[in-house]
Amino acid sequence: MKLDVDVLRYLSKDDFRVLTAVEMGMRNHEIVPSDLIDRIASLKHGGTYKVLKNLLKHKLLHHDSSKYDGFRLTYLGYDFLAIKTMVNRGVFTAVGRQIGVGKESDIFEVAREDGTVMAMKLHRLGRTSFRAVKSKRDYLRHRSSYNWLYLSRLAALKEFAFMKALEEHGFPVPNAVDCNRHCVVMSLIQGYPLVQVKQLQNPETVFDTIIGLIVRLAEHGLIHCDFNEFNIMIDDDEKVTMIDFPQMVSVSHRNAQMYFDRDIECIFKFFGKRFNMSFEEQSDDIDGSEVDEDESSRPSFSSITKTAGFLDKELAASGFTRKDQDDIEKFIEGDAGDDVSDDEHESGLCQTNIKGFDSLHLDQKEPTSSCNEEEQGDENQHSPEAGLTGNPESQNSSNEEEDNQNADENDAELMKSLAKQRRRTMAAARRGRKSVASRNSYKDKGGKSSNNSKIQKQLSSW
């Protein structure tokens, strides 16, 4: 949708109030009901519906009455809200021509009061050319529901954060000025995209600079993932500036090596075709060890070490997990001694568990030994020597056995009496049970069953 800033001049405070009300309602509504917009805007004289009609005429809102009467913001209305906020902050005062179009954004020129020209990038996710955002980008993370305006806002916030951090660490990136909603304002690079450059005075130097940027990013823990001739700016002095950062990931991402190799391959292929540069491929020795690499050889992902910093941790780049953060903090604090003590503690726990296991077996052996003692006592009772000696323990044991036998006999008699009582009650229940008529007895009226019953009654009377 074309950005016509002239309409912005004629919008009143009530118009922006209603636009803001629709934006607030879209936090939990795909289509915001008209009544809800009226309650949120709460205009003094109740002119919400008139304002909605005016905004709909300028295509700042979209009307949908399929399920209920409601409205939603369009990208043009979202643009006006972001531009109005930037103007109120004093970031810029004028919007100029469009200088770039991408699959995810549009870029315009803006100017300050002193005449300084800057670039304004408006993210527009959800275009027909690039709708696989949920699978190609990690803006959603753990969220399940989304809309394109919200995704564009997340992409703008991520790009602004990356641009700020890379600028602080000395990378050649544009100067990030401000960010609001899906709009990012940055300094304007006086140069050209590398894809438009047909000739360079020192292509080898530019090539080495670009490859060095990829390696340096990896040393800081980041991979660009879209490092090609379209996202590299070069000026008349052949100074390189990189742009477009929302898709950057951490080196701990599961596909980090693939992204790193793809960025390297894009640069090698472009310079080989455009500037006829030849590159020596890496050759392996017989033993499997690599031969000394030439300056033009390709850098490998496995040979890069993160020694310059942890930007992926600071910016929470995708692929950097909580476990990685804990490991880095432990490494920085130098808790190697604590690991040893933890191992000793675990070994001590294992030993105590083994001791407890042995004691458990010992407890199980004790009753077996007591049983053996009882058997020995029984043998002593039956032996003639036990009768001659007349030990009091043996006499006590014999008395206990007699008591047990008497108790068993009493239990047997009790069980017999209970069984008799049970049989008597069952027989009484059978005698007192009445015959219950079936549910289908009404069907037997006048049939064979009724005749048979009459004959039986006559026979009983005879």
| DSSP assignment string, 387-453 | HHHT-HHHHHHHHHHHHHHHHHHHHHHHHHHHHHHHHHHHHHHHHTPPPPPPTTGGGGTTSHHHHHH
Q: H or E segment at 105?
A: strand 105-111
Q: H or E segment at 89?
A: helix 75-89
- pLDDT tens digits, 129-165: 444 555 555 555 555 556 889 888 888 988 998 899 9
Whole-Å CA distances, 191 to 107, 235, 241: 15, 4, 9
Which is catalytic among the residues 15, 38, 106, 226?
226
- A 10 A CB-CB count for 451 gives 11
- pLDDT tens digits, 429-459: 776 654 444 444 444 444 455 555 555 555 5
Pair of tokens at residue 137: 């980008």
Whole-Å CA distances, 151 to 32, 106, 317: 18, 15, 16
The whole model's pTM is what? 0.63
- pLDDT tens digits, 166-195: 999 999 999 999 999 999 999 999 999 999
Average pLDDT, the chain: 75
Task: Judge whether 113 and 87 are in contact, CB under 8 Å.
Answer: no
Q: 226 catalytic, yes or no? A: yes
Distance between CA atoms of 161 and 183, rounded to whole angstroms? 13
The CATH number for 1-89, chosen from 2.60.120.10, 3.30.70.2190, 1.10.10.10, 2.60.40.420, is 1.10.10.10
